[in-house]
Structures are given as C-alpha cells and as structure tokens.
Structure 1
Amino acid sequence: MKESKLIEMKNKIDAQSRIMQHLLNELSNVRDLAIGTLETLELIPGYDDAIEQIKKDITKKSSETKKIESLEKTSN
C-alpha cells in the first residue's frame, strides 16, 4: 500500500477515535443528568404515591392488552 493511503487511513481512524471519545463523554453527561433529575424528582412530595399509581396503571393496561390479545386469538 502507498504511504499516502496509509496516512489517510490513520487520519480517518484518529478522527473516528476522537468522535467515539466525544460520544462517550456526552453519554456520561446524559447519564449524570438523568441521575440528577431522578434524585430531584424523588425529593418532590407525593413522589412515592405517583410511582405506585403509575405501577397500577401499567398493570391495568397490561392486563387489558392481554384480554384484547386473547379475544383476537379466539375470534381468528
């Protein structure tokens, strides 16, 4: 391979490495932001009650979906 081609390939790899490092840094920042947001939400009065209500709603929707799927199977 020509030296110029090798240099070009090395430069591309270096650029990709910098991009990956930047993405990893951004991912770390987003993770920190998400954790901070969750910790802040947990301090809001009524947080535990809201979580329990969400769990109940999800369970209810899940059981309704299962009923609908069951009805669809029997009608086919």
Structure 2
Amino acid sequence: MGAWGIGHWIIVLVIVLLVFGTKRLGSVGKDLGDAVKGFKKGMADDEDKQPGQLKDETRNSSDSNTSARNDERNQR
C-alpha cells in the first residue's frame, strides 16, 4: 500500500484536529467550497461572454476591411 498506511493517515487526521479544532477546519472547508463555486461561476460567465465578443470583433474587423477595400477601389 506504500509508505503511508491507513493507520498513519488516522494519526495525522487526529493531530490536525487537535491542532486546528473542528470549528476552524469547518470554516476553512466552507471558505474553500465558496471559492470553488465562485471560480466555476466566473469561468461560466467568461464562456458566455466570449462567443458574443468574438463574433462582434470578427464582424467589426470584416466591416472595416470591406470599407477599406471599397475606399481603395473608389480612389482608382
């Protein structure tokens, strides 16, 4: 099973509980969960915004390229 067996992990868990206490560990877990939820929400918001922005940028750049070509043709 490797260098660390189940007995070692139980001892580590007991020591962590004694050092930090259950209340502090609970609040750290809640804060970590909220941070993960916020990160996922932010990633979802970015994905929703990007496709629309890319379409607008592409449309604007193609419009400006078309108008530049028309200007060149009109000057000739």
TM-score range, shorter chain: 0.5 to 0.7
- Between the two structures, name the one with larger relative contact order (CA 8 Å, sep ≥ 6): 2
> Partner of 1:10 in structure 2?
29
Equivalent residue letter for 1:20:
F
Residue 31 of structure 1: aligned partner: 50
Distance 1:20-1:6 versus aligned 2 partners, 3 A rule = same
Between Structure 1 and Structure 2, how many residues are aligned?
50
Structure 1 length as normaliser, TM-score?
0.52
After TM superposition, the structure 1 = structure 2 runs for residues 32-71 of structure 1, keeping only pairs within 5 Å, are 32-41=51-60, 44=63, 47-50=64-67
For the pair shown, the structure with the greater C-alpha radius of gyration is: 2
Q: Which amino acid aligns with 2:39?
A: M
Deviating above 2 A after TM superposition, structure 1's stretches of 4 or more consecutive aligned residues are: 38-44, 49-52
Q: Which runs of 5+ in 1 are unaligned?
A: 53-76
